[in-house]
Chains A and B, each alone.
Chain A
Amino acid sequence: MQPLCAYIEGIGLLGPGLPDWASAQAVLSGREPYQSRKTVLPSPASLPAAERRRSGAIVKLSLATGLEAIAAARLDAASLPSVFSASGSDGENCHIICEMLASDDRQISPTRFHNSVHNVAAGYWSIATGAMTTSSVLSALDASFGAGLLEALAQVVVDDTRTVLLACDTAYPEPLFSARPIPDAFGVALVLAPQRSVQSLAQISVNLTDAGADRLDDAALENLRLAIPAARSLPLLRGIALRQEKPVVLDYLDSTRLAVAIALC
């Protein structure tokens, strides 16, 4: 197949010890040491008060990373189609619903219920940004970043449009945590464009491959990559941070990975 190509125009990132893309760039390029700290999720100021009160971790993480990437690309969020990819959705909310449904009082609240949908972040995103554009909301368990990247690239290539990819994962509390041990929140957002512009950081060309995924030299960062599906993006982000044109291989499904060629702009 022909590789799928797009230009990265903006990056947003938030994860343990990585409070934004600028800090992450310094860490991933080796200029600063990596120190893991619990992810701090900002209050989503862009949401109306009622929605802000109701928003869980996945909503806060998506808004923070998505808006960071779009600000870097100097674009209007309302104009962009979006791709949301996550292993699961609001884990805390899911736990409380399951707990209530196993109790004598099964009357879950309306807000709990509408926050339980996998597209909760996409819904709040459209309310916060006013985007009436299409939004693809995906899950592929540990392959969620790769699945989101392919969907976003297909949008860019086929529909000749910019799009924003938001790959975000948050933690379940116990007892679900033991069954799905995602340790903390990690999100990455990429604004992708079909043509080169003054904002372009790099062009990526993506193909399927049988090769094994790249690992990170720093043991703590490698643990992060393996522990949170959205952090499977880290080898790509490291390549951009190092301004290296060396191709990277990203983890995807058990049967196939993604080979990503990077050309700097």
Chain B
Amino acid sequence: MKPLWLSHFTATSSIGRGLDQTLAALRQRRAGLAPCSFDTVDLATFVGEVAEVDAVQLPAHLADFDCRNNRLALLGLTQDGFAEAVRAATARYGAQRVGVLLGTSTSGILQTELAYRRRDPVTGALPADFNYRTTHNTFSVADFTRHYFGLTGPAVVVSSACSSSAKVFASARRMIAAGLIDAAVVGGVDSLCLTTLYGFSSLGLTSAQACRPFDLHRDGLSIGEAAAFALLQRPPEHLDADAVLLLGIGESSDAYHMSSPHPDGLGARMAMQDALNMAGLESAEIDYIHLHGTATQNNDVAEAKAIRYVFGSRTPCSSTKGATGHTLGAAGGVGAVICALGLQHGLLPAGLNTQRLDPALGLDYLLQNREQPVARMLSNSFGFGGTNCSLVFARAN
């Protein structure tokens, strides 16, 4: 592929609002996980909740879109001058030439979960103030974003569970290469809701403590929420040395099971290899792997096997889910932004909470931050339904 430029990017998660706080949290190895006190949830689990999401007010003309997921989206969009950058791109390319491609798994379903508590006792009807189209529907966050910026071109939500906001980079690459758009607002937003908290709990996949990826005693994930965005466009002729480029993307399906990864990580292996092939790189040219690393028994085993097959055991890697929690449909976007920060600031972030590495996994899993010049990183995102996506990012120089 022709490299694409992440001209602007931003992330808001439980470890911070925007890039400065996120970078500081990574440097200070500060986690955003805490015992779950979200809504009425009565589960013994940790979550990565973003502070003050519900204080965010949507503009009056977009009030129909009001729900936790779109509040978090707006909170994220208004950090780091990102909204201004989108407006500048719109002025440059035209409102129909800037695409909106966002990932989410549960969108604003919390709104429906809450509405089901207020059903009419006689008819069973949902309350009159419930608006499905602008909140619950999977498209809502992209629809909100395009209306917020007044964009009129292609817009879509990618919703393939926890690979969603990595896959948006793939769709945006194709749309830009096809000449359909000149720039794309990509990323992902997922917010806490009861469906995922109780759902992962029912599968026995949530830990009672802050998740410990790649730990010998790891016992499940911690759910988080986040909004992460990047503005993707063709690189100009002259780029700053620390500009971040997307060099390659690999996508695959496990064709194995709805909620368990292929035991040998076959699909993950294909995604990573395809990403390297598209980037024209050998595995040895990758300086760091941002793992999917959810901290469930099976996921970490499958990912480690796949990495050993493609990379061997020597590439430094870590999962940042011990810091942010697993932000599900936003995880690919968060991974992209953490890689972009790492490339610009020379930071390989350590995994948090992990006490004793599982020796069977056999990778160079970082328990301490490394500050060093770094040229290229790969980020993994895998999800239910056996969906896999790997992204390769690099500094311009």
Contacts and interface: CB of A to CB of B under 8 A. Distances in A.
A21 interface: no
Interface stretch (A9-17, A62-70, A107-115, A214-222): A107-115
A126 B116 contact: no
Contact of B252 (A114, A119, A129, A133): A133
Interface in B85-109: 96, 105, 109
Interface residues of B, number: 66
A135 B153 contact: no
A115 B257 CA distance: 12
Contact of A110 (B137, B195, B202): B202
Given A119-B387, A132-B254, A180-B137, A150 B132 contact: no
A159 to B, nearest CB: 7
A99 interface: yes
A179 B135 CA distance: 11
Contacts of B133: 141, 180
Contact of B199 (A51, A99, A108, A175): A108
B160 A132 contact: no
Nearest to B137: A141
B159 A109 contact: no
Interface string B229-256: 0000000000000000000000111111
A155 B174 contact: yes
A100 B199 CA distance: 11
B259 to A, nearest CB: 4
A193 B180 CA distance: 19
A126 B386 contact: yes
A131 B253 contact: yes
B198 interface: yes
Contacts of B159: 117-119, 137-139
B359 interface: no
A235 interface: no
A91 B203 CA distance: 21
Given A113-B198, A113-B200, 14 more contacts: A78-B255, A87-B138, A102-B119, A112-B199, A123-B258, A123-B384, A127-B255, A127-B386, A133-B253, A141-B133, A147-B154, A151-B174, A174-B124, A253-B155
Interface of B: 42, 96, 105, 109, 112-113, 116-117, 119, 124-126, 130-133, 137-140, 142-143, 152-161, 167, 170-171, 173-175, 177-180, 194-195, 198-200, 202-203, 251-259, 266-267, 270, 383-387
